[in-house]
A and B are shown apart, each in its own frame.
Chain A
Amino acid sequence: MKKKVLSAILSVAMAATLLVGCGSAAEEAPAAATEEAAPAEEAPAEEAEAPAEEEAAPAEEAAAGGGTYAFVSKSAGNPFNERQATGFEEAVADLGGTAIIQHPEAPTADAQITVIQSLISQGVDSICVAANDENALQAALEEAAAAGIKVCSVDSTVNVASRLTHVNQAGVTEIGQCLMDAVYDITGGEGQWAILSATSQAANQNAWIESMKEIQAADSKYANLELVEVAYGDDEPQKSTDQTQALLQNYPDLKVICAPTTVGIAAAAKVLQDQGSSVKLTGLGLPSEMAEYIGDDDAHSCPYMFLWNPIDLGRLGAYTSAALVSGEITGAEGDKFTAGDMGDYEIVKAGDGGTEIILGAPFKFDPSNIEEWKEVY
């Protein structure tokens, strides 16, 4: 009997701790909301008034034209995604709205669905998502659209039925051409090369890889280049490292690895440089992570690489969300809008039959500018 009483007391204590812990969180939230919504007013000290304030706050924000804009990333701990989130937050702050940034618990579509369902419950105004799977979010995003939420994708697209428009870093062929030229240049025009990608179902990765293959097949100047393998590191540092080592072992004549993913390129750079390998690297990478590997001499594994500005990408995602919510654009081809201080953008037709907004051409990072950019992101 005593055991039971004891365990009952313990579990009640556990529940009580939870209640108390979250109770204080609930108190903080309305206080913060009050500060944002009514800076002139003194925040009420009494707890009793707090819930009423909380309910009033969203209404006030809506009246001020703010709105709640949500951003769903691919996963936590992805530096590229986190910079996008930062940009998204900045732009939403400029617009005077509330940003909700959500990193799903796992880099899967399932985990993103959970987050999206929760955002629908919260009645946000827009959802901007970097998708882990092109098609798997359709049911959830259709439900969001039915609830009046404006949906767009950024970075990695969702299918046409799920979105109003997509914010693209750069045109697929532009990136494919850039990377292919880099491979051509670094190999000297002949020899074996390999691709180290993220997950095998990442839409953006697959589109770029497909584009590179097409460009290689279309022009005879690439005839002496041989793509030996597309390896998948799943955007996990350890798996990317393992895949790089496997490539080195399986293809002793390999000249270049092209990794169009920030996680993959950083892992590969470390492997190549640590082993003093003669294999060179290029692709898409974050300057801050890649600075120590970029250089023209043999001691550095990466002569140059590309990327666009993920902060700007996030910002453009936020401005697009806001323009969709305000009704300035509908996501149709030919719609034009002004993205804050980023200038004017036009919605164009995308390769998959939907529409997209293109941020700009990829930017080249080489030994001449890497020092400056590694401080930025």
Chain B
Amino acid sequence: MAGKSGRTISATPDKSLKKMLLSWEGMLLVLFIAINILCKCISPVYTLTNVLREMPKYLTEIFLLFPMAYILLMGEIDISVGSTVCLAATVACLSSNAGVPFIGVLAIGLITGTVCGMINGFLATKFRELPTMIITLGTQIVFRGIAEIALGDGGSISLTNADGFRMIAGKVGPVPYMFFIVIICAVIFTVIAEKRVFGRNLYAIGSNSRTAFYSGVKVNQMLFISYTVLGLLAGVSALFLTSATYGANTTTGKGFEMDAIAMAVFGGISTAGGKGKLAGGIISAFTITCLRVGLGQINMNPQVILIILGALLICAVLLPNISQSISDKKKKASRA
């Protein structure tokens, strides 16, 4: 085992049930089940149909989690993605109102997101000495600024013809289309992170970017690709968000970047890079979603829900550190 905290990659995967349960992801799974039981207990309307119906709002954020996890694994960050969502939604709405056929609107939304991602990727790779936190802070302001100009005086535009968007907000039985796309993305991104060279290299870059570079890993190329994919998925997120609001406004996508980062961190992915698994991020995303839906259904004050989520996040970050330091002390004691 490469590490015992359950948050590092292992050279020889151990498949025993006990090991799996004791890994960070295993514990998250237990927590996920516990939260669902809890919600079922406290809310009489916590049914599968209702949860799936309330889920789309959160699913739009989960799209961003996948590529965000890649970027975090490489030890970088992107805090501009909420603004990218806003800009892509704005451009899609404007083009729809200008009479562009729906398939074109979809393409325009996705392209806008992708271009924003490419700009981030370009800046992040061209100016490696600048922290990506600062680069994306800049683009965050720029993208939202452009969106606000495009939105005009009212700060809000609504679709004159929402038929196409109504269609993509559709459902199979109680399950929204978006859910299937999220699951497909989850599988693709997990397989790449776990089973492909690209995934291995993510961890290599996150552990030591310089070493990875001199070992022949195309660091810049991978960074560029990841930022671009994040932009693309921000476009996807924007289109689905538009399908829920029939329009865009200056607050569209606000805070999405932080929610995506929070999901990843709660899932055990370290912002310092190189540690954690995408599976953990995905489980934590659904755990957070279920918790918010359940607590919302008992009309708990949304501000209190935010406090609970914040506290959970701090616990999630502290737990491995606390257990690490305790076991270190024990080791010292046993040696003495």
Interface residues of A, Cβ cutoff 8 Å to B: 1-8, 10-12, 14-15, 18-19, 22-23, 25-26, 29, 54-55, 76, 100, 102-111, 113-115, 117-118, 120-123, 132-140, 143, 159, 199-201, 206
Contacts and interface: CB of A to CB of B under 8 A. Distances in A.
Given A2-B327, A114-B296, A134-B156, A19 B38 contact: yes
B44 A54 contact: yes
Contacts of B21: 8
A76 B307 CA distance: 14
A100 B299 contact: yes
B305 A105 contact: yes
Nearest to B326: A6
Contact of A139 (B244, B254, B303, B320): B244
B6 interface: yes
Nearest to A117: B54
A248 to B, nearest CB: 23
A7 B24 CA distance: 9
B57 A121 contact: no
A118 B297 contact: yes
A25 B252 contact: no
Interface of B is mostly: helix
Nearest to B292: A114
Contact of A3 (B156, B293, B323): B323
Nearest to B166: A139
Contacts of B153: 200
B324 interface: yes
Given A10-B323, A55-B44, A117-B57, A200 B250 contact: yes
A121 B156 contact: no
Contacts of B22: 4-5, 8
B88 to A, nearest CB: 15
Contacts of B293: 118, 121
Interface of A is mostly: helix
Contacts of A5: 22
17 contacts: A3-B6, A4-B6, A4-B323, A15-B31, A102-B299, A106-B255, A110-B251, A114-B296, A121-B54, A132-B251, A134-B158, A136-B245, A136-B247, A139-B245, A159-B158, A201-B249, A201-B250
A115 B4 contact: no
Contacts of B30: 11-12, 15
B57 A114 contact: yes
A151 to B, nearest CB: 15
B306 to A, nearest CB: 6
Interface string B7-24: 000000000000001111
A140 B244 CA distance: 7
A10 B5 CA distance: 13
A55 B23 CA distance: 39
A299 B53 CA distance: 56
Interface centre among B30, B296, B312 (most CB of A within 10 A): B296
B69 to A, nearest CB: 21
A2 B4 CA distance: 9
B215 interface: no
Contacts of B6: 3-4, 7
A23 B247 CA distance: 40
A8 B322 CA distance: 12
Interface centre among B41, B42, B156 (most CB of A within 10 A): B156
Contacts of A103: 301-303
Given A103-B301, A120-B53, A121-B45, A4 B23 contact: yes
A169 to B, nearest CB: 21
B155 A200 contact: yes
Contacts of A120: 53
A143 B305 CA distance: 24
A196 to B, nearest CB: 16
Nearest to B41: A26
A108 to B, nearest CB: 4
Contacts of B154: 200-201, 206
B255 A10 contact: no
Contacts of B24: 7
B243 A113 contact: no
B141 interface: no
Contact of B319 (A7, A102, A114): A7
Contacts of A26: 41-42
Interface in B249-272: 249-252, 254-255
A136 B249 contact: yes
A54 B44 CA distance: 9
A140 B34 CA distance: 29
A111 B61 CA distance: 13
Contacts of A104: 302
Interface in B129-168: 153-156, 158, 166
B41 A133 contact: no
Given A2-B327, A4-B4, 15 more contacts: A3-B320, A4-B323, A7-B27, A11-B27, A15-B34, A18-B38, A29-B298, A110-B254, A115-B296, A118-B54, A118-B296, A136-B245, A139-B243, A140-B244, A199-B250
